[in-house]
Amino acid sequence: MNKFYMGIECTCPLCGKTVNIYVKTVNYKAWCFGAQAQTAFPYLSASAREMLISGICPECYQEMFGDSEEEEG
């Protein structure tokens, strides 16, 4: 990893799964100073951003909340 990118280790509090999410350092700093995750990390998937915010992995999030598209219909 170089000085422009950093890895953030996230461990799901529900299942213990650990993943590394790699982000641009400048974007991480913006997020730390209050930028919304969607704005700071537009290149990350929604599930990666959620894991940064809550720590919950995509599988546990799906198990907890299901498919939001089904609920909207």
* Domain presence at residue 55: yes
Query: Residue 68's pLDDT band (boundaries 50, 70, 90)?
Result: low
Print the domain residue range for 43. Answer: 25-67
Measured distance CA(33)–CA(64) in Å, rounded: 29
Mean pLDDT value across the chain: 90
Total domains, the chain: 1
Looking at the predicted structure, is the pLDDT value of residue 2 above 60? yes
Model confidence, pTM: 0.80
* Domain presence at residue 31: yes
- Condensed to tens digits (0 to 9), the pLDDT of residues 21-54 reads 999 999 999 999 999 999 999 999 999 999 999 9
Which of 12, 8, 20, 7 lies closest to 55, judged by CA? 12
Which residue's structure tokens are 């959620």? 50
